[in-house]
Structure 1
Amino acid sequence: MRRADRLFQIIQVLRRSSRPMTAAALAEEIETSRRTIYRDITDLIGQRVPITGEAGVGYVLDRSYDMPPLMLTPDEIEAIVLGSQWVAGLGDKTLASAAKDVLGKIAAVIPENLRPHIARPSVGLRPFTPPPRDDIDTNALRQAIRDDRKVRMHYCAESGEESTRIIWPVVLGYDATLRMLIAWCELREGFRHFRTDRIVSIEVLAEGNGLRKGELLRRWTRWREAQPPYAMPK
């Protein structure tokens, strides 16, 4: 790897990390030696890149540091293309359009020599059947999640039993076969997973969940990590 590419990669790794990265961890990810990482970190600091930390403790990139956002490598471009192909096949029209718009924006500003990686990528997905169609407004659900709003939901379980619940939506999950809404259910007093094709209707309420930003997601993450493998309550 060229030195310039390695320096750029160190910044990228530090930028996406929420915790201090040791030289050993950086060396393993970038596939170089710790001695090289120490030297590169010193050079970056000398170039006024705001990296703080020390050997044995780890390094952190100041969150205020900004780089030109489209200094992309061919691998990064093709990762975006692959992700966009997957999103486009999910059956969510809004996200599919957003994915196409992202590719269009990237293609408009990257150098000419990189554009073939979008027009003729070396990666691709096999065709798959999109998730079952549902009639709920996923845009409203995503906005409720962003705003930490409660939602009144009318739901039909697999057994055919119908119920109305007040939920605190956490994440709208997607895979190749279905969409799943993860939420705290006031009725069951616990986290539950609801298939969106079984949701009859939703109403986003003005009332918030009363938690600090991100706290509901952290609670769900801890709950999920404590569950037995393959546990998926519905």
Structure 2
Amino acid sequence: MSRAERLLQLMQQLRLHRFPVSGQALATTLGISLRTLYRDIASLQAQGADIRGEAGLGYVLKPGYQLPPLMLAEEEIEALMLGTRWVARHGDNDLAEAARHLTAKIEAVLPQKLQDYLAGAPLLVAAPRAPLPCQVDVAQIREAIRRERKLRIRYQDQQGQESQRLIWPIAIGFFEQVRIVAAWCESRQAFRHFRTDRLLAIELLAEPYPGRRQLMHQWRQVHGQPPQGY
């Protein structure tokens, strides 16, 4: 690969690590010598990249540094288009619109050759079966998750029984026809899963709940993933 490509790959590797990563690990991943890695780190630092660390201690790219528009590999373009096409077909209306805007923004900074490949990326997503009707706005649930706010819900279970719940939503699972909200339920004092098509009403509250990341960690320890059969 060219030196420019190597520097871009080095930046990408640094972006993937939140904590310091050793020079040897970076050199091995990139297939270069440690001496070359040290020179490349110095070159990136001279160009303004906020890379902290030194030989023997590891390196980390400090948050906030923005890369200039990059050349994308064909596999990266295919991954991008497959993901956005899936979201456009399977996500709620707001997510589908966001996927289309994202594609347009990325296309705008690509060279013409890659723009053409992006438009014709040869990976297609099959049309989904019609999702089960949903009476609530799923975008409001996503807002509650982002803001770590509690939701008051009215829910109807599989037997048709209705209940009022106060939940702490932490994630949404997208299946072909249904969407599942993973949440801590205050009344049950346990994690529960709620199908959005069985939600009769939701109310976004101003009251925050504590520590979504910690809750996600606890949820994964208990469930790993939403139960099958939903």
After TM superposition, the score normalised by the length of structure 2 is 0.86
Query: In the alignment, is the contact (CA less than 8 A) between 1:154 and 1:165 conserved in 2?
Result: yes
Secondary structure of residue in 1 paired with 2:188: coil
Distance 2:223 2:143 in 1: 31
Q: How many residues align?
A: 227
Unaligned stretches of 5+ residues in structure 2:
none
**What pairs up with 1:11-160 in 2 under 5 angstroms?**
11-30=11-30, 32-35=31-34, 36-68=36-68, 70-75=69-74, 76-129=76-129, 131-160=131-160
After superposition, the Cα gap between the structure-2 partners of 1:41 and 1:117, relative to the gap in structure 1 and judged at 3 Å, is same
Residue 135 (structure 1) shift: 1.9
Give the CA RMSD over aligned residues.
Answer: 2.4
**Which residue of 209, 212, 217 maps to 2:213?**
217
Q: Which residue of the partner structure matches residue 227 of structure 1? A: 222
1:176 pairs with 2:176: yes
Distance 2:103 2:151 in 1: 33
Query: In the alignment, is the contact (CA less than 8 A) between 1:152 and 1:205 conserved in 2?
Result: yes
Query: In the alignment, is the contact (CA less than 8 A) between 1:130 and 1:178 conserved in 2?
Result: no
Percent identity, please. Answer: 41
Secondary structure of residue in 1 paired with 2:168: strand
1:203 pairs with 2:203: yes
Distance 1:153 1:137 in 2: 12
Measured against aligned partners, the alpha-carbon deviations of 1:108-165 in whole angstroms (never above 9, x if no partner) come to 3322121112211133334443543312101211112222221111111223322110
Secondary structure of residue in 1 paired with 2:83: helix
Unaligned stretches of 5+ residues in structure 1:
none
Measured against aligned partners, the alpha-carbon deviations of 1:184-215 in whole angstroms (never above 9, x if no partner) come to 11011122221111111111122222x2xxx2
Residue 13 (structure 1) shift: 2.1
Query: In the alignment, is the contact (CA less than 8 A) between 2:182 and 2:193 conserved in 1?
Result: yes
Secondary structure of residue in 1 paired with 2:90: coil
After superposition, the Cα gap between the structure-2 partners of 1:52 and 1:162, relative to the gap in structure 1 and judged at 3 Å, is same
Q: Which residue of the partner structure matches residue 186 of structure 2? A: 186
* Residue identity in the other structure for 2:42: T
